[in-house]
Chains A and B, each alone.
Chain A
């Protein structure tokens, strides 16, 4: 019973830290994915009197990743449809050039505004229209939720680290005498702390297993039926196999630091 309690006292805070880390990874992926989606659907329309090449636009701002010229004939046809005697050729000749610009990443409102001003400052560019404002409110809400969640996960991890430290003190009290006796007889640090390492590694693997299982279940069983568009489309956002390696690495690192801390504190002080 005591042994189970000893394990739980270390395993639970460790699990809380790993869940915090995994939530962090998931939110980070979801945010990046959402940003990518926004970036793809985001464009700037430029109306110019002169012909401009992609290089010209990139020179104006390096964030302009792609330039799609809009076919003037399509626009001319649209205009001609409402006019009885207008000739397509005349309209075509009178029309300026239209470009759809795509950015390399999703930029903030102020950055987009800077690009807009740069474009308008170019001789020949008559009009610049930015789209995507309807996404902005959703995106800002998303970023706000992310910050709130990161703060919560950070706080949870901090409390858990304190609990791990408390448990280390318990370990130190429980194992100090044994470790000191072993040291008197010449046992190296790794042998003296072998029991703690074994216990810690078992707990680390258990905590990793629980955290990984939880998110794997969410990915494979919950996401497909969740009704949440972003999760249904991109189930991999909830869990990637490399997360297991990251969580195991973090759990083992915590165990190593915790056990070495106990071993060093229990070491004989030479006078």
Chain B
């Protein structure tokens, strides 16, 4: 099966390359896989995710996402790649001036879909994340769990080939966390998206096969 992500001798660093976070790491993620990446705080989990959506360029080695070399990718290609990704953040990153419905269809707005398609897809996704009643409300009027469900719905709205999630349940209670994990399982299992989740802790009840990488001492190791 084709690799969606391929890293070879990858080194990631901040401060113009002076502060290395990940060094000489190699790993692959294949299409349709569900991957957890864990590690202690400050180990470089979020840094790796940033590199996967192109906010951080590799210092050394190669990193390809969807076949594109993230070390050499230009702005235009990166924009294009990002329209095919679903990204979920711990702090939700919702646009507070926009309604829940408009936030959900942001990737469709960017892709230039018609209003009709946007509305149809928004209804479907909001039903899916159980937020139909909140469609016309604004993010700050929702609870943290609800806001994250909006974030997940937004990530799924354009059927991305790759979903990247940074601590998606970090701030949530158990009920909301379970809802989020169910949605992510479905995205992988039923929609065929590849999912990479950075988290402190893998959920105890997880119903689909997954791979588990751990980041430690600047290296990335597969433990399952």
Interface residues, chain A, with chain B CB atoms under 8 Å away: 177-178, 181-182, 184-188, 191, 268, 270-271
Q: Are B82 and A185 in contact (CB under 8 A)?
A: yes
B107 within 8 A of A: yes
Closest to B112 in A: A191
Question: Contacting A270 at CB < 8 Å: which of B54, B82, B87, B107?
Answer: B54
Contacts of B93 in A (CB 8 A): 181, 184
Closest to A184 in B: B87
Contacts of A184 in B (CB 8 A): 53, 55, 82, 87, 93
Task: Count residues of chain B with CB under 8 A from any CB of chain A.
Answer: 25
Contacts of B56 in A (CB 8 A): 270-271
Q: Are A187 and B57 in contact (CB under 8 A)?
A: no
A250 vs B105: C-alpha distance when bound (angstroms): 36
Question: Contacting B82 at CB < 8 Å: which of A178, A186, A191?
Answer: A186
Q: Are B14 and A186 in contact (CB under 8 A)?
A: no
Q: Are B55 and A186 in contact (CB under 8 A)?
A: no
Q: Are A186 and B81 in contact (CB under 8 A)?
A: yes
B83 within 8 A of A: yes
A186 vs B110: C-alpha distance when bound (angstroms): 7
Minimal beta-carbon separation of B162 from chain A (angstroms): 13
B153 within 8 A of A: no
Known: A270-B56, A270-B57, A271-B14. A186 touches B95 (CB 8 A): no
Contacts of A177 in B (CB 8 A): 95-96
Can you show 20 pairs from A to B with CB atoms below 8 A apart? A178-B97, A182-B110, A184-B55, A184-B82, A184-B93, A185-B85, A185-B107, A186-B79, A186-B81, A186-B85, A187-B79, A187-B110, A191-B109, A191-B110, A268-B55, A270-B54, A270-B55, A270-B56, A270-B57, A271-B55
A270 vs B82: C-alpha distance when bound (angstroms): 14
A178 vs B54: C-alpha distance when bound (angstroms): 18
Interface residues of B in 142-166 (CB under 8 A from A): 154
Q: Are B83 and A186 in contact (CB under 8 A)?
A: yes
Known: A270-B56, A270-B57, A271-B57. A185 touches B87 (CB 8 A): yes
B80 within 8 A of A: yes
Contacts of B98 in A (CB 8 A): 178
Contacts of B82 in A (CB 8 A): 184-186
Contacts of A187 in B (CB 8 A): 79, 109-110
B106 within 8 A of A: yes
Q: Are B54 and A182 in contact (CB under 8 A)?
A: no
A184 vs B154: C-alpha distance when bound (angstroms): 12
Produce 1/0 per residue, B86-99, CB < 8 A to A.
Answer: 01000001111110
Known: A178-B95, A178-B97, A271-B14. A185 touches B55 (CB 8 A): no
Q: Are B97 and A186 in contact (CB under 8 A)?
A: no
Contacts of A185 in B (CB 8 A): 82-83, 85, 87, 106-107, 110, 154
Minimal beta-carbon separation of B178 from chain A (angstroms): 26
Contacts of A186 in B (CB 8 A): 78-83, 85, 107, 110
Contacts of B78 in A (CB 8 A): 186
Contacts of A191 in B (CB 8 A): 109-110
Contacts of A188 in B (CB 8 A): 79, 110
Contacts of B83 in A (CB 8 A): 185-186
A268 vs B56: C-alpha distance when bound (angstroms): 10
Contacts of A271 in B (CB 8 A): 14, 55-57
Minimal beta-carbon separation of B101 from chain A (angstroms): 16
Interface residues of B in 32-66 (CB under 8 A from A): 53-57
Contacts of A270 in B (CB 8 A): 54-57
Determine which residue in A185, A187, A270, A271 has the highest number of CB atoms from chain B within 10 A of its CB, and name it: A185
* Closest 5 A/B residue pairs (Cβ): A186-B82, A186-B83, A187-B110, A186-B79, A178-B95
